[in-house]
Structure 1
Amino acid sequence: MVFRAGAFRRRIAWVFALQFVAVAIVCVMGAYDQAPLPAVIAVIVIVTGLAWLATSREWRPVSALARLISEWRDGQSDPAALEPERLSRRTDADLAVLARGLHGFAARIADYGQRERNFTRDASHELRTPLTVIRMSVDMLNDEAGLGESGRRSVRRIHRATRELEALVEVLLILARESDSGGTAEQFVVNDVLRRELETANDLMAGTSVELHLEEPARFALRGSMRAFSVLCWQLIRDACLHADAGRVVVTVMPDAITVSHATDNTAAARDGSERLSFELAIAQRISDRFAWPLELHTTGGPGVARVRFPDTLPLRA
């Protein structure tokens, strides 16, 4: 379909030109007493109303396109509704170009959303299934009576790497889904979730010099995704364990926040300052942005401290 460039401007120009001619003629007739004043005023009002109706009719395709965009819902609306072929032949070429660009953009967004859903569905199944098999096999191998000490150390390393990979897959799937809220919203006690995460971390850190401690000067609850909160805490604890210099990591529960602190080697931190935002902290930052839990990082000039604040805390039930 071929659209005429400048058609909208030409039609509007004709409307205003005809309005000007009609008003000029009736004003001249009134000035020479060829028409009474009430008739002159009535003609001017009628001509102005007709010009307004004609202009509104020409503007109708623009309004229809704007209404279609305002009611657009990703994943629910059909990109075919923006196809230029559905426009009237009287549509201006500029508006047709805009509709064609919006149609291409909507089609790409729809394709992206479909690829996202396919990827997360396949990754969720194809990655979790072999990880579950590996973990079960490692547990069975660990129960073997004839396994030597070196073999058990290798089994523990495989078990630790499997648990870390499971946590990584979990958080990447949360972040990959644009509409994923991290699970069903529920009310949970922050202290209880932290205690479970520290038990898991202690199991993974078995055989290392890292010591984990939980301090609870306060207790509070949250309403939201417990899975996302668990993954956020795990990423902070894991980063602290990887970078702890003195082998001691302290997790503290404050009235409206939690902190994860560890001693750092300031010389190494100054030398590798560009690398201080590790992969774990980058993931934690993305989770905090997604769920509006502000994350503050202090990694220089003293102990490394990561603090997560929670604007909407809940009091614990008696």
Structure 2
Amino acid sequence: MTVVTEFFLVGFQSNFARIFLFCLLLVVFCGTIFGNLLIIILVSNSKILHTPMYFFISQLSITDILLTTDIVPNTLYILLYNGAAITFAACFTQYFFRFLSGGFECLLLTVMSYDRYMAICNPLRYTSIMTNAHCVKLVVISWLFGFLIAVINISALSMLTYCGPNTIDLFYCDYSPLIEIACSDTYIIVTYNYILSIPVLVIPITIIIISYGNIAVTILRFQSSVSRRKAFSTCSSHLIVVSIFYILPLGVYFFPSKVRTLDIRKILPLLYTVFTPFVNPIIYSLKNKDISKSLHLIIHMED
């Protein structure tokens, strides 16, 4: 039986930093919910956006909303009161949904790279392969697989014994701080985590690299510069999102240890979990004629 029944999430010591971050995160939270809901509404109601690419983008918006609502409200509370207690069950529930959304997004970005590969490298077979039913199957499989991985991860982590200290020097419950404060041996859990990283990280990254390697070769073979530019533009947004999704966690986990002792070790995870869902709809909407046209049509219909 575990002795610890709750954890204490630590905020910032500086009042100015707390007030500034509270206001910033509140604005970002509202912008994230609005931007992603707008993408979902546009994709659902506009026939122009009834394509596999925009269907996957709407699913990305759903997981961004899930991640944001899982982290930000409690973070705002912690900033407001300079720390807060969270029950054992609530802590692991928060971690479960964060892991679920992150795992699903990783798989979804892989599916989206496959979609771009089919559209550019096999355009004649694209419509026959990427049917609505096939796209739905890919998304459902991604959700189910992400859910399964999250259940395995959280089940293994919750079996650890926590007998004190119960302070987590972060705004939310995460894998590393929970491992650090565990009293029991964590070797098996850490081994599980490395094994789970193969289907969640290694395989998806490999597929994305291979897909875009083939896409780059195909684009370079195009005779027309206009065709090359158009093909690249259909992939640029996804490439930016993929880069942000994978580069920011590297900054979180591989940042120099001397700098990690400062409050920046709290800010880096916030960039990954809070600001990524905020910029995703902006990246996909920026200079996107289909989304702009759909938004104009909906506004015009309401008028």
The reply to whether TM is greater than 0.5 is no
Structure 1 or 2: more helix by fraction:
2
Please give the TM-score of this superposition, normalised by the length of structure 1: 0.32
Which of structures 1 and 2 has the larger relative contact order (alpha carbons within 8 angstroms, sep 6+)? 2
More strand per residue: 1
Q: Which has the larger radius of gyration?
A: 1
TM-score using structure 2 length: 0.34
